[in-house]
Amino acid sequence: MAKIAPRTLSGFMELLPEDQIRFDRMAEIIRESFSVYGYAPLDTPVIEAAEVLLAKGGGETEKQIYRMTKGDSDLALRFDLTVPLAKYVALHYGQLTFPFRRFQIGKVYRGERAQRGRFREFYQADIDIIGDGSLAVINEAEIPGVIYHTFQALGLKDFVIRVNNRKVLNGLFLAMDLQEKSGAIMQTVDKLEKIGREKTAAILVDDFSVPQADADRLLDLLTSGQRGASPVAILSSYMGKNELLDTGIEELLTVAKHMEAFGVPDTHFVVDLTIARGLDYYTGTVYETIIPAHPEIGSICSGGRYDNLAEYYTDRQLPGVGISIGLTRLFYVLEEQKYLNDKLLAAPADALVLPMTDDWGPAIAFATALRTVGLRTQIYGEDKKFKAKMSYADKLGIPYVVFLGEDEIAQNKVTVKDMITGEQETITAREAAERIAAGVKDGRTARPIQAE
């Protein structure tokens, strides 16, 4: 028969079992963490009507989208989880209770140029809180708590959540009489960390005709935190210039004030006035999360407050706040940086049971007993040499192998071999289950990211 060469599309992550176990453990912890914060799970279709998905239209989105015709239908694959959320909330508005808190972990599709570390199919892990008409600022304050708890639970130690407020930036632009160029200035400020202060100032002055003195004053203020000053103290001195700025400062102070109560330590949280986030639809608090040791990775979790989730579908005002973790890229980067924890047991089983007699009954019954107490168990029944059987366990990293030969069966015992120490012992089934459970506990509960 003529063969088709098997291949996986470029830009599509496909993991070997060990890495898949690590990836799934990360996703599971994120899911648990989001659940603990009282977000409900959501799972919208991967395919939507193109018209619905592209309601906003234009830009990179349309170029990158995976689109197809099926029958008479013009269909597209979702490129993020926010547009499907907007559709969902607008469509099911009458059946939802607000504020509506949901998380979604799912694959999204973007036909980007193939490139190392860039993915066309990737997981996003999002949370959002959607208000009906209004949404209290306490929800914005909660988000760093979720971010901190989630990365903490994953095992990441060294990360910082940076927070700013768009109203503060726009209020400052207004105070400096730069409001007409606020969009362009916001975009420029957003690049400050990447391109440096000098270039930022040059763009402001040359491209957007901001007077040099204003540009200096603005950048002095925004970067004051980086020079050890308290941006909060400095901002307080700006109070009263205009209402927008006052509101922004108040919100930012409110968010900062509650960090301790939300369990976020000082070491992992900073108000940083240079954070703008690219997307133009943020209107209040904005977030990003960085690993200081690896600034090149960029933000691993970002988001912000927006005023109008579903304006393309409904007249209702649905303000919200949300964040997104690009899980596929995060996993890729963590692996590349050797941040994945070797101590996490990435084998598909805790124990491998080897029947050594013609009657498999006792070995099967023992495996069933292990499974009943939640131990992940395989039975190896292939007709191979003993060495091949041990090599199977070894290659998969299964930590315990259990033999049931004539002697063991006669004594109503089993022989357990610890594959790491090489020690083996003939003990009762119950003792074996306890031994294995104790032996795999640390490996099964280890955090997927390693502590430095």
Residue with tokens 């922004």: 248
Asked if 101 and 121 count as a contact pair (C-beta separation under 8 A), the reply is no
User: How far apart are alpha carbons 182 and 174 in whole angstroms?
Assistant: 8
User: How far apart are alpha carbons 48 and 71 in whole angstroms?
Assistant: 14
Point out which span in 101-109, 202-210, 227-235, 270-278 binds a second copy (CB under 8 A): 101-109
Asked if 417 is part of the footprint of a second copy (rule: CB under 8 A), the reply reads no
Q: How many residues bind a second copy (CB under 8 A)?
A: 106
Among 382, 412, 421, 423, binds a second copy (CB under 8 A): 382
Point out which span in 202-210, 391-399, 403-411, 424-432 binds a second copy (CB under 8 A): 391-399
Asked if 279 and 256 count as a contact pair (C-beta separation under 8 A), the reply is no
Please give the full DSSP string across 84-125, using - where no structure is assigned: HHHHHHHHSGGG--SSEEEEEEEEEE--PPP-TT--SEEEEE
| Distances 58 to 44, 87, 222, 435 between C-alpha atoms, Å | 23, 18, 32, 60
| Distances 110 to 174, 262, 310, 324 between C-alpha atoms, Å | 37, 35, 21, 16
- In the complex with a second copy, the residue whose CB is nearer, 173 or 380, is 380
Rg, C-alpha atoms of the chain: 27
Among 1, 233, 410, 438, binds a second copy (CB under 8 A): 1
Query: What is the smallest separation between the CB atom of 137 and a second copy, expressed in angstroms?
Result: 8
Q: Map the footprint of a second copy across residues 116-145, applying CB under 8 A.
A: 121, 131, 134-139, 141-142, 145
Among 270, 289, 294, 395, binds a second copy (CB under 8 A): 395
Asked if 405 is part of the footprint of a second copy (rule: CB under 8 A), the reply reads no
String marking each residue 284-323 x if it binds a second copy according to CB under 8 A: --------------------------xxxxxx--------
Among 58, 72, 97, 116, binds a second copy (CB under 8 A): 97
Handedness of CA 87, 13, 279, 292 (dihedral sign): positive
- In the complex with a second copy, the residue whose CB is nearer, 294 or 444, is 444
Collect contacts of 429-437 with beta carbons under 8 A, ≥24 apart: 429/366, 429/369, 432/366, 432/370, 432/402, 433/369, 433/370, 433/373, 433/375, 435/400, 436/350, 436/351, 436/370, 436/375, 436/399, 436/400, 436/402, 437/350, 437/373, 437/375
- In the complex with a second copy, the residue whose CB is nearer, 213 or 388, is 388
Q: Map the footprint of a second copy across residues 248-267, applying CB under 8 A.
A: 257-258, 261-263
Residue with tokens 């270039």: 199
String marking each residue 46-65 x if it binds a second copy according to CB under 8 A: xxxx-xx--x----------
- In the complex with a second copy, the residue whose CB is nearer, 63 or 199, is 63
Asked if 390 is part of the footprint of a second copy (rule: CB under 8 A), the reply reads no
Run of H or E including 284: strand 282-290
Among 61, 62, 80, 111, binds a second copy (CB under 8 A): 111
Query: What is the smallest separation between the CB atom of 379 and a second copy, expressed in angstroms?
Result: 6
Among 62, 80, 96, 294, binds a second copy (CB under 8 A): 96
- In the complex with a second copy, the residue whose CB is nearer, 53 or 245, is 53
Asked if 222 is part of the footprint of a second copy (rule: CB under 8 A), the reply reads no
Asked if 427 is part of the footprint of a second copy (rule: CB under 8 A), the reply reads no
- Exposed/middle/buried for residue 413 (C-beta within 10 Å: 0-12, 13-18, 19+): middle
- In the complex with a second copy, the residue whose CB is nearer, 240 or 263, is 263
Pick the closest to residue 158 from 327, 337, 31, 343 (CA basis): 337
Residue with tokens 């090599």: 391
Among 78, 82, 102, 414, binds a second copy (CB under 8 A): 102
Query: What is the smallest separation between the CB atom of 47 and a second copy, expressed in angstroms?
Result: 6
- In the complex with a second copy, the residue whose CB is nearer, 176 or 398, is 398
Q: Map the footprint of a second copy across residues 334-353, applying CB under 8 A.
A: 348-349, 352
Query: What is the smallest separation between the CB atom of 226 and a second copy, expressed in angstroms?
Result: 29
